[in-house]
């Protein structure tokens, strides 16, 4: 090899090192570590113990994802060879993630995995050791979900308890995914979601006190679902009446809502773009409404400024907005609502 070849090789290696350096300096790269990040940082508030693996691992996954480091433990980023230009950056991230995980383990567990050198191996070790009881836990969750009753709880308290159980079950037993290679044409996921929504609604209704059952069953007759619908029910069931328009569609009159809402474009008589409005849904998630319109229910009953939110499951009439727009008075009884 002559001098030219040596110079060329050194130049190539230097270029590869620069690529590696650039990866570690780019904030969007998984190899990037912020200057304020340190090995003692606790990413979650609860340490892993013998009985909380499912909730702990879920919170840790979210935390690692927010740090753009989940790929190091789920296998997406493979361990490079020592002579690979990304090795140094990978090594720093691996040690940092190891430290983050170790800092949120109970002392006994931390002691038992002290000599594991790779973040992915540590993650897999914890999963293998502490997720073995998931099948029994799933059985316990199913039994609790189907036996829970409202009792002395408020609607909000009862639904919150159910929702916590549903979410834990969904984490331990995720929905099957399509393997046909045509995810945009396959409706498998939609079918499973529909079945799950119906199951949630039925569990919720069956556990309610008798004084609510008839009213809430009426609220579901137009859509025999879903988790969002149940979320809305728990928020405002003490202040609900219902109205069917000329198309036979069910509308909920809610004294707690601030805006009229529909998920169905066919409900609008007129439709227009508005300045984006942030709306908090009953399940505490937020969406942006960018369109609104007018709904002619009858010639004498017109609903103005109805927000279009596709993620909502019901047609909702805000009582306070209705009174203001129509300058009217609403009288509620056990059987109807008079305007």
- Domain limit, last residue, from 130, 154, 180: 130
Q: How far is CA 110 from CA 103, 104, 252, 312, in A?
A: 8, 8, 53, 45
65 and 208 inside one domain: no
What's the pLDDT at 159? 80
pLDDT at 133: 61
**Domain count of the chain?**
2
Say whether both 170 and 309 belong to one domain.
Answer: yes
- Asked if 298 and 199 sit in the same domain, the reply is yes
Domain that holds residue 29: 3-130
SS3 content of the chain, % helix, strand, coil (to 5): 45, 15, 35
- pLDDT of res. 158: 82
Q: Which of 130, 165, 189 finishes a domain?
A: 130
Predicted local distance difference test score (pLDDT) of residue 246: 58
pLDDT at site 103: 94
pLDDT of residue 328: 80
Rounded Cα–Cα distance for residues 21 and 16 (Å): 9
Question: What pLDDT is attached to residue 13?
Answer: 45
Residue 248 Ramachandran class (φ > 0 left, ψ -120 to 50 alpha, else beta): left
Burial 258-285 (b: 16+ CB within 10 A, else e): ebbbbbeeebbeeeeeeeeeebebbeee
Give me the residues of the chain with pLDDT under 70, please. 1-22, 132-134, 181-185, 210-249, 281-285, 299, 313, 332-337
Boundary residue ending a domain (86, 109, 130): 130
> Same domain, yes or no, for 143 and 126?
no
């Amino acid at each position: 090899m002559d001098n030219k070849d040596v110079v060329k090789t050194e130049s190539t290696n230097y270029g590869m090192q620069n690529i590696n350096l650039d990866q570690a300096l780019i904030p969007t790269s998984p190899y990037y570590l912020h200057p304020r990040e340190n090995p003692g940082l606790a990413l979650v508030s609860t340490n892993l113990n013998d009985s909380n693996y499912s909730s702990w691992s879920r919170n840790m996954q979210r935390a690692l994802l927010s740090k753009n480091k989940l790929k190091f433990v789920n296998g997406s980023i493979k361990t490079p060879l020592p002579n690979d230009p990304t090795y140094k950056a990978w090594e720093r991230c691996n040690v940092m993630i190891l430290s983050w995980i170790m800092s949120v383990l109970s002392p006994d567990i931390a002691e038992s995995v002290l000599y594991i050198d790779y973040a992915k191996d540590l993650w897999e070790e914890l999963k293998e050791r502490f997720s073995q009881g998931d099948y029994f836990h799933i059985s316990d969750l199913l039994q609790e979900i189907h036996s829970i009753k409202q009792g002395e709880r408020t609607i909000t308290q009862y639904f919150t308890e159910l929702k916590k159980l549903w979410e834990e079950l969904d984490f331990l037993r995720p929905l099957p995914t399509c393997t046909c290679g045509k995810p945009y044409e396959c409706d498998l996921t939609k079918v499973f979601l529909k079945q799950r929504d119906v199951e949630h609604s039925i569990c919720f209704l069956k556990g309610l006190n008798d004084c609510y059952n008839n009213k809430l069953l009426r609220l579901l007759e137009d859509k025999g679902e879903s988790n969002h619908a149940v979320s809305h029910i728990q928020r405002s069931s003490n202040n609900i009446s219902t109205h069917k328009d000329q198309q036979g569609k069910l509308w909920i009159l809610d004294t707690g809502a601030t805006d009229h809402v529909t998920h169905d474009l066919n409900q609008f008589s007129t439709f227009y773009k508005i300045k984006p409005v942030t709306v908090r849904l009953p399940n505490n998630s937020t969406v942006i409404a960018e369109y609104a319109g007018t709904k002619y229910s009858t010639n004498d009953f017109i609903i103005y400024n109805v927000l279009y939110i596709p993620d909502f499951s019901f047609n909702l009439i805000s009582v306070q907005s209705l009174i203001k727009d129509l300058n009217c008075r609403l009288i509620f009884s056990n059987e109807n609502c008079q305007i």
